[in-house]
Amino acid sequence: MRSYSSMVITVVLALLWGSGCNGNNRAMQARLIKMARNPVVEAEYRIAPPDQLSIEIKGYPEYSRQVMVRPDGKITVTSVGDIYVTGMTTLEAAEAIRTALLAELSQPSVTVALLAANSKAIYLFGEIRRPGLQTYHGDMTLLDALAAAGGLTFNADAAKLSVTRISLDKPEVLKINLRKLVYKGAAEQNVALKEGDIVYVAPTGFAKVGYAMNQLLFPFKAGLGALSTYGNAENALDDD
């Protein structure tokens, strides 16, 4: 009986503490979003396979199209043929296409837009609102990536983040305390990310207890759900 009471007290304290943490995380969320920059800097992005581009030639809709950069680094432009665009910005690619089109058109106005940056990515896991693969842009920082993913969940431990940098030569695991960055201005915590980095945000200790309790109670939840369904069916039969 005593162990059962202890468990109940622990759960109640976890819920009460968690509600306080939720308030702290809301404040953290607001500061995090405010401090981050817009991570999508298309003017600085370097094109690579298999990025998807939109090509617009003003006044010539028959030349406009959407293309994917092939493994050889080239795209195909109507009436011109193949143009190598890997390593270029969208502005540089537009100029390369414009120059090639001068043989066909008089002073063409070319716009190239990045539709999908498929060539570079980082990976976000753990207590993040929108975890998973995220497009990487040249000067992206940790704050940029977290803000673009919607920030942290209310179960996140903002003092326990890690950035894993996979390498055959020298793999690294960087330990990050986001609270020091947001509340104390510790700029070294806002690391510059590299393509392929893995960002992980750990849950709080109480969140871990909650997850464990949820797993422990899952079989009972399933049983109660089945009993509830059975009871509703019985009631429906009685009504008939």
Note the pLDDT tens digit of each residue in 137-158: 767 899 989 988 999 998 999 9
Length of the chain counted residue by residue: 240
> Does the domain spanning 46-116 belong to CATH 3.30.1950.10?
yes
Give the predicted TM-score (pTM) of the model: 0.60
Structure token digits, residue 123: 């990976």
Structure token digits, residue 100: 């090639």
Please tell me the distance from the alpha carbon of residue 155 to that of residue 15, in angstroms, as a whole number. 11
CB 197 within 8 A of CB 163: yes
Q: What percent of the chain has pLDDT over 90?
A: 47
> Where residue 228 falls among pLDDT bands split at 50, 70, 90?
low
pLDDT at 12 over 50: no
Please tell me the distance from the alpha carbon of residue 162 to that of residue 172, in angstroms, as a whole number. 10
206 versus 54: the higher-pLDDT residue is 54
CATH class name, domain 2-41+119-207: alpha beta
pLDDT at 206 over 70: yes
Mean pLDDT, the chain, rounded, equals 80
229 versus 39: the higher-pLDDT residue is 229
Q: How far is CA 53 from CA 50, 80, 136, in A?
A: 10, 17, 16
Please tell me the distance from the alpha carbon of residue 191 to that of residue 172, in angstroms, as a whole number. 13
Structure token digits, residue 233: 């069916």
Q: What is the pLDDT of residue 185?
A: 87
Please tell me the distance from the alpha carbon of residue 37 to that of residue 66, in angstroms, as a whole number. 29
> Where residue 15 falls among pLDDT bands split at 50, 70, 90?
very low
Of 99-108, 211-220, 229-238, which one has max mean pLDDT?
Answer: 99-108
Domain boundaries, the chain: 2-41+119-207, 46-116
pLDDT at 14 over 50: no
Going by their DSSP bridges, the two strands 198-203 and 156-165 should be labelled as antiparallel
